[in-house]
Amino acid sequence: MRVTLSPIHRRDKGISGTIAVLQDVTEQERLEQSRREFVANVSHELRTPLTTIKSYAEALDDGALSEPELGQRFVGVIRNETERMIRLVTDLLHLSRLDSNQAPLRRLATSVPDMLEEVADRFSFQMRKKQIRAAIRVEDGITSVWLDRDQIDQVLDNLVSNAIKYTLDGGRIEITAHKPGSTSIAISVKDTGIGIPRKDLSRIFDRFYRVDKARSRNMGGTGLGLSIAREIVKAHGGTVTLDSELNEGTTVTVILPMLQDGGDPS
């Protein structure tokens, strides 16, 4: 709470009273704190790959270049770290556009069965590599929905890519669509992966929050995938929820309003 006191001056009478303004600054402080955390996180996330790139470049300079096998490995590390930085900056720009409403939705009638088939196709190589089986189920009667296909593709890509990253070889992923009511559609991505501890569930959509930072980084993650998914779904007037059981698996469900004509839900 911030208290500001201002004296009331009356001509010839000096101070005749005081105005006290009580201001609740808790919300302001919370926002400022999360802004500071965000900047610290971004700096850290960029510094880590830069430090790695620097040390591997120095090692190449110091002689690793003359050993072809070692040199090649070091160049591979530099390329991976650079790609991760590009992904991070791309994700940050995307989030910033979403935050400032500079990513207007271009809704089109979109076939849900086709959209789900295509997301599974995009990841078929990665799933095959980990011997993960995928199943797609779409409830009868679900055909097309008005949505921004590019943006919802990004949501589905983030969810399916997480499901693959955090599922062990030989696991299973299900992508399903059903109607929880007459005015909305629910799309779920369910995996039989490592799951998320209960204590982390409440923060899992926070920017840069990861259960296991090292694991996420090794998998090429930026820690922004779920936050981006949530912002895109919110812009569509929908919600996204996550259920998880440690060592059993995770289900992420996106609920979108079924619009008749592409109009805004609000």
Q: Binding residues for ligand ADP, per CB under 6 A? A: 158, 162-163, 166, 191, 193-196, 204, 210-212, 216, 221-227, 250
Distances (CA, A) of 224 to 10, 40, 89: 57, 15, 11
Nearer to ligand ADP by C-beta: 252 or 255?
252
Task: Give CA–CA dist 160/180, Å, rounded.
Answer: 21
Tell me how far CA of residue 62 lies from CA of 58, 79, 136, in angstroms.
Answer: 6, 19, 52
Q: Report the residue number, 64 or 156, with the smaller CB distance to ligand ADP.
A: 156
- Cβ–Cβ under 8 Å, residues 98 and 228: yes
Query: Does residue 57 come out as left (phi exceeding 0), alpha (psi in the -120 to 50 range) or beta?
Result: alpha
Q: CB of 87: closest distance to ligand ADP in angstroms?
A: 9
Nearer to ligand ADP, 32 or 37 (CB): 37
Helix, strand or coil for residue 116? helix
Nearest distance, CB of residue 173 and ligand ADP, angstroms: 9
CB of 164 to ligand ADP, least distance (A): 9
CA angle, 113 then 115 then 118, to 5°: 105
Of the candidates 154, 247, 133, the one whose C-alpha atom is nearest the C-alpha of residue 195 is: 247
The nearer residue to ligand ADP, 64 or 189, going by C-beta atoms, is: 189
**What's the farthest any 2 CA atoms get from each other in the chain?**
90
Question: In this structure, what DSSP letter does residue 193 have?
Answer: S
- The answer to whether 254 and 180 are in contact (CB under 8 A) is no
With H, G, I as helix, E, B as strand and everything else as coil, classify residue 146.
strand
At closest approach, how far in Å is the CB of 41 from ligand ADP?
12
Smallest gap from Cβ 199 to ligand ADP, in A, equals: 12
Q: Which is nearer to ligand ADP, 162 or 253 (CB)?
A: 162
Nearer to ligand ADP, 179 or 217 (CB): 217
